[in-house]
Structure 1
Amino acid sequence: MWGRRSPVLLQAFCDDSASDKGDKRLFMAGYLNRADKWELFSEAWREELQAQPSIAYLRMVEANNLRGEFRGWTKEARDQKLKGFARVINHFEPLSFQFTINRGEHLRVLTPVSPRGLGSPHFTCCFSVISGVARYVAETKAKTRIEYFFDEQDGVSADMSLLFHQMKRNIPRSARNLISGTPAFENDKLLPPLQAADMLVWHLRREHENRTSPDDILPMADLLRNPKGHLESHIDDAQLSKWAEHHAKQEGVQFLKSKGQWQEFRRDLVRFAEAGAIPPTGSRITHLLFRLRIHFLGKLARRNSRKRGRPRS
């Protein structure tokens, strides 16, 4: 797919889909390919969008429910349209990947003892995608850098932008050096590769739920996975428990549970970074929680100072 010393940039596009069944597993999946291949892919995808009957963009939730861009369509016409998009994906042969996390266990074990931003299953899985794809490429001995694009996710993009450079220090150097910049969060209506990722992750989630019947949507997971290269990873429950045990021992986490508390911490962390107070080495969680303790020691000191200054009634 790419040479060991190829200067051509790689780009990974990823979307998410969460199940409400069983362990409420969260899926993040997508495709990795060279940037020049994605340009040609996008042209072919737009041609397929414009082919009659035409649509402006592809979202599987609309295709499944025959609403939005698929309002008034028959199931047969929809299925033929989806086959056309699958042919475009297969022609360009991107590496497919999927990462999953037990959302029910995450919300039960890790979220209650974590700061608001780090307690999100989407944040955990998003960073796992970045780390996992970079490690995979590093193992091929490729020197090609990778850009990451995710579908827009409320809150996650701001947290990732703020914490990413500290967190990625936990990735092995060979993989870390392949990551180009900070991951971007974009509107999938505007980026054909994100629409392809949406198509893949939706079918993988439905495959997991095993909801197949004569009236169900065309099962296409096998058509959308690349048989020559598919990366699959699952964050196990033991790892969630390990992270939860570590978070629970940190001071001040209880003060970062609400949206307002987390937003205030974001602002303080930005000021720390701009002042050069975040050290350049060490583990991501150590630095984050060290700043957290400074933040709340100062906050408690200010609160106590105000109390002491109040006149007695």
Structure 2
Amino acid sequence: MLTPTEFRGIDQENSHRELIGALFSGLPKTLRDEGILMVLQAWFDESGKTEEPVYLLAGYVGKKTVWEDFAHDWQAELDHEPKLPYLHARESQLFKGTDADARVERLLKFVAIIRKHRLRGVSFLLKHSDYREFFRIISVHPVITPAERRMMRNPYYLSFQYIFTMMLIRHGQKCAESGTKELLEILFDDGGERKQRLKIGFENFVKTAKEKNPHLLDLLINKGPEFRDDKQMSPLQACDLFAWHFRRFCYEASRGNKYEDAIWRALRDGIEYDTYLFTESDWIKLLLRLRQSTWDELLKHKSEDNP
């Protein structure tokens, strides 16, 4: 795994490509080349002052070798005049002096790079109001332990359980069918205020997986959360672009409006996405599993009392 000293010492001219390769350092060459990198941007908004508060994870998945080629193309586009130091959807000052049409045209070139390399999108969305109501019910359920209550207080724990378990199961099936072994690295944007929630959520996901699906962790390179600065990692810049527009789409949809931004249309069309939504039926299934656990617990105690 790349140390902070090694991270700072990488040649900035080739930093994007080299940083991707460094994530898989220490593995045999065959595993390095076949490695899968998943990059995620987390959006956490509890305020609700101007928008419906949501928990959102969005990003892209691809092979290490694909990401390295992607990074080369992304950097080449950043270096075109007018040069950009990096791409960040919320930093409009990066395009200072550029009119709206030229800005859209430039951003579409970055979207074209995402499409060219056939990256697969992944997203998870959870409305804060839905989660708050669920937690109100589940936090007083008789079967829940204090540790589980603490874990479920963090909404990213649920999203990680849902996304990563599904992805690792599917990934394991693919490896079994093909006879190959592709290891997965999961990388997060180093977002300050969200970092601790993400860290705890990921650690709790690994803890639960060790107890219930330990074989899945054999497919995971990083058993702890990995964070990088999106200004230095082009894959994270791509998922920032997707996350920002996905969040805007959700905002408009919650008000019954269409979101027909040209960038969003280009991101949406021609790219395959796995979208995970925690619906009402998912909450009910989770509650039913807990109720079954309560029943099993009662039967266990009854049998112990009447041997």
1:265 is aligned to none
Q: Pick from 96, 106, 112: which aligns with 2:131?
A: 106
Asked if residue 229 in structure 1 is aligned to residue 272 in structure 2, the reply is yes
SS of the residue 2:83 aligns to? coil
Q: Pick from 151, 168, 193: which aligns with 2:235?
A: 193
Q: How do residues 66-215 of structure 1 correspond to structure 2 at under 5 angstroms? A: 66-67=92-93, 69-110=94-135, 113=139, 115-116=149-150, 118-140=152-174, 141=177, 143-152=181-190, 153-160=194-201, 162-169=203-210, 172=213, 175-182=216-223, 183-210=225-252
CA contact 2:188–2:228 (8 Å) conserved in 1 = yes
SS of the residue 1:43 aligns to? helix
Counterpart residue type for residue 188 of structure 1: D
Counterpart residue type for residue 158 of structure 1: K
1:234, CA displacement in angstroms?
A: 0.8
SS of the residue 2:195 aligns to? coil
How many angstroms apart in 2 are the aligned matches of 1:116 and 1:74? 48
Q: What's the RMSD between the two structures over aligned residues?
A: 3.4
Output the TM-score relative to the length of structure 2.
Answer: 0.65
How many angstroms apart in 2 are the aligned matches of 1:95 and 1:46? 20
1:181, CA displacement in angstroms?
A: 2.2
In the alignment of these two chains, the number of paired residues is 238
How many angstroms apart in 2 are the aligned matches of 1:116 and 1:72? 48
Change (3 A) 1:226 1:16: farther
Q: Pick from 23, 41, 58: which aligns with 1:15?
A: 41
How many angstroms apart in 1 are the aligned matches of 2:162 and 2:96? 36
1:222, CA displacement in angstroms?
A: 3.8
Structure 1: any 5+ residue segments left out of the alignment? 1-5, 249-313
Q: Pick from 41, 48, 56: which aligns with 1:27?
A: 56
SS of the residue 1:155 aligns to? helix
SS of the residue 1:233 aligns to? strand
Structure (1 or 2) with the greater helix fraction? 2
Structure 2: any 5+ residue segments left out of the alignment? 1-29, 140-147, 292-307
How many angstroms apart in 2 are the aligned matches of 1:194 and 1:225? 18
How many angstroms apart in 2 are the aligned matches of 1:17 and 1:106? 15
1:173-200 per-position Cα deviation (integer Å, ceiling 9, x unaligned): 6644322222312221111001101111
Output the TM-score relative to the length of structure 1.
Answer: 0.64
How many angstroms apart in 2 are the aligned matches of 1:130 and 1:57? 29
How many angstroms apart in 2 are the aligned matches of 1:243 and 1:111? 14
SS of the residue 2:219 aligns to? coil
Counterpart residue type for residue 112 of structure 2: R
1:221, CA displacement in angstroms?
A: 3.0
CA contact 1:11–1:147 (8 Å) conserved in 2 = yes
Moved over 6 A (4+): 244-248
Asked if residue 43 in structure 1 is aligned to residue 77 in structure 2, the reply is no
CA contact 1:96–1:225 (8 Å) conserved in 2 = no
How many angstroms apart in 1 are the aligned matches of 2:115 and 2:84? 20
Greater shift in the superposed pair: 186-195 or 95-104: 95-104
How many angstroms apart in 1 are the aligned matches of 2:130 and 2:227? 26
CA contact 1:17–1:27 (8 Å) conserved in 2 = yes
1:88, CA displacement in angstroms?
A: 1.0
1:194-248 per-position Cα deviation (integer Å, ceiling 9, x unaligned): 1101111222222233379xxx883333422474632121112344466579899
Q: Pick from 238, 245, 262: which aligns with 1:219?
A: 262
CA contact 2:78–2:84 (8 Å) conserved in 1 = yes
Residue identity over aligned pairs, in percent, reads 19
CA contact 1:109–1:241 (8 Å) conserved in 2 = no
Change (3 A) 1:170 1:73: farther
